[in-house]
Amino acid sequence: MNPVVDHSASQSEQEVAFQSEDGWTIYGTLSIPPDIGEHERVPAVLLLHSSGHDQETFNKHYAIPGLSHLLSNRRTASLRIDWRGRGKSIGAQEFHSFTQAQRADVYLDVKAAINFLTTQKKIDSDRIAIVAEEFSADAAVRGSIDDARVRLFALISGRLGNEAKEYIGKESLPVFCIVSSDDKPGFKDMTEVYRLSSNPKSDILICRNAGIGTTIFYLWRHRYPKEKPVEERIADWVSRHLGAGNLVQEVSFLTEDGWTIYGDLTMPEDTSVRAPAVVLLHTALSDRYVYHDLAQAISSAGIAVLNLDWRGRGRSTGKGKYSELKQEERERGYLDARGGINFLATLPSIDSARIAVLGTDRGALHAVNIALNDPRVKALVILTVIFTAQEKTALTTLGIPILYIASKGIEDVLRDLTEAKRLSQNKGSQLVVYPGSALGYQLLEANRAVQSRIVGWLGNQLRCIQETTAAMTAEPRSGSDRVRI
């Protein structure tokens, strides 16, 4: 069965239906913020009710906005469903008559809902969260096991089995646990889940004698009318850690030698100040999507990110695929970075005097080349590369800080980056060596500390450049390049 969308509903809210892998038809409501740009993609939240509720528990109630509405106000899409046996998804059997084995299969509805979300063009399929109430907390986690698209959970009075608890502990995913002190089973599971999660973003809210599940929302509002409502706390936490405030849009520009280059521009949430920016350059065998998580993390730190498909890769193949290009043409990929910097400089929200470039392997060589030839580049991050003697000599002319990242098990890369660090003329330069033998962007997957180190270093380097340097920003050098490696 193909997903069905009822377009008779409003533009921002649509009735939908899809099938689980075992053939159960699941109905729900997809809510997408109404002001999404043509090429913008937003994160999404799957909302799962308890065994005694249906999807309407997350909808508006009188003058009280529901979670779906609160998330939409935070530029986050949501899908609230009736899972099998409840609401519109009752089918041939109601949930109250399910056997224990049948109840355990609700996780299949979670998997189907996640897959459905990823088919929606306005949704960023790599930024999905799940909010689950009571019984469905276990299904939420079990339906997400080994699914990297699901980034975090908010669990309201959650009940979880051992498999779900072990996964949260093993994967160190952010979890927001909300529970009442008089809900003994939920209190036991929520405090244990919070203890198991080693992620620093995890949090717990314990309410005194506030009932079970979404009842907490209403009792909290009644008792503490001047405090922030619980559902707003959930919406804030989820949208903040999904990077919902970060505007992601696909952009394109023309290089000086006629290539049309495509990329994703991710802007930080705070647009009241001009932001520094980072250009990301992938390897010769990958494309911009290897940096998806890194781009979100950098933008969450207040730095704009231009994540490119450079010539011949991804969508930037208008003049040929990389494997078909002559070597001379391949080496001109640094012009794509220059075009990206030129594009950033046209945006009033970007401080073009505070631009960094990050590159991996061949992308790292492009990064060095553009830094040598464009004084607007104020910092570099090099993720794995082997330098020739000429290239090392060229690095000695750079007075900007460089972060070199290598793995201990790749000896030739470690040797070259160690020598490059020694030649660096800036005291802000660093060499960081991680255990293992991961190469380039694989380091981001192998060790989560790599991403944190990059974000922290870039933030420190770009923040130390005063806004007054914007007046001194120079145009790219004309004529022949000073150095080309």
The yes-or-no verdict on residue 149 having pLDDT over 80 is: yes
What is the H or E stretch that residue 114 is in? helix 106-118
- What is the structure's pLDDT at 63? 57
The yes-or-no verdict on residue 5 having pLDDT over 50 is: no
More confident: 479 or 435: 435
The yes-or-no verdict on residue 480 having pLDDT over 50 is: no
More confident: 280 or 5: 280
Mean pLDDT for 374-398 is 89
The yes-or-no verdict on residue 474 having pLDDT over 50 is: no
Q: Report which of 459, 428, 476, 402 is spatially closest to residue 276, judged by C-alpha positions.
A: 459
More confident: 410 or 110: 110
Distance, in Å, from the CA atom of 79 to the CA atom of 249, rounded to the nearest integer, reads 22
The yes-or-no verdict on residue 359 having pLDDT over 80 is: yes
pLDDT band, very low/low/confident/very high, at 478 (cuts 50, 70, 90): very low
Q: Report which of 282, 238, 286, 242 is spatially closest to residue 266, judged by C-alpha positions.
A: 242
For residues 16 and 116, the answer to whether their CB atoms sit within 8 Å is yes
CATH number for 4-241 (one of 1.10.1040.10, 3.40.50.1820, 3.40.50.300, 3.10.450.50): it is: 3.40.50.1820
pLDDT band, very low/low/confident/very high, at 96 (cuts 50, 70, 90): very high
Which residues on neighbouring strands pair with residue 105, listed in sequence order? none
The yes-or-no verdict on residue 363 having pLDDT over 60 is: yes
Mind listing the pLDDT tens digit for each residue in 133-144?
999 999 999 999
The yes-or-no verdict on residue 473 having pLDDT over 60 is: no
More confident: 240 or 279: 279
Mean pLDDT for 351-369 is 94
DSSP 174: -
Is the Cα dihedral 429, 435, 438, 443 positive or negative? negative
Mean pLDDT for 283-290 is 90
**Considering the chain, what percentage of its residues have pLDDT values greater than 90?**
64
pLDDT band, very low/low/confident/very high, at 12 (cuts 50, 70, 90): confident
Q: Hey, is 208 helix, strand or coil?
A: coil
Span(s) in the chain for CATH 3.40.50.1820: 4-241, 247-472
- What is the structure's pLDDT at 483? 44
- What is the structure's pLDDT at 476? 47
Residue 439 C-alpha from the chain's centroid? 21
Q: Which CATH architecture has domain 247-472?
A: 3-Layer(aba) Sandwich (3.40)
Q: In what order do the strands lie in the sheet with 304-309?
A: 247-254, 260-267, 304-309, 275-281, 350-360, 377-383, 402-407, 430-434
Which residues on neighbouring strands pair with residue 248, listed in sequence order? 266
Mean pLDDT for 393-421 is 90
Mind listing the pLDDT tens digit for each residue in 28-65?
999 999 877 777 788 999 999 999 999 999 998 755 67
More confident: 158 or 64: 158
**Considering the chain, what percentage of its residues have pLDDT values greater than 70?**
92
- What is the structure's pLDDT at 243? 77
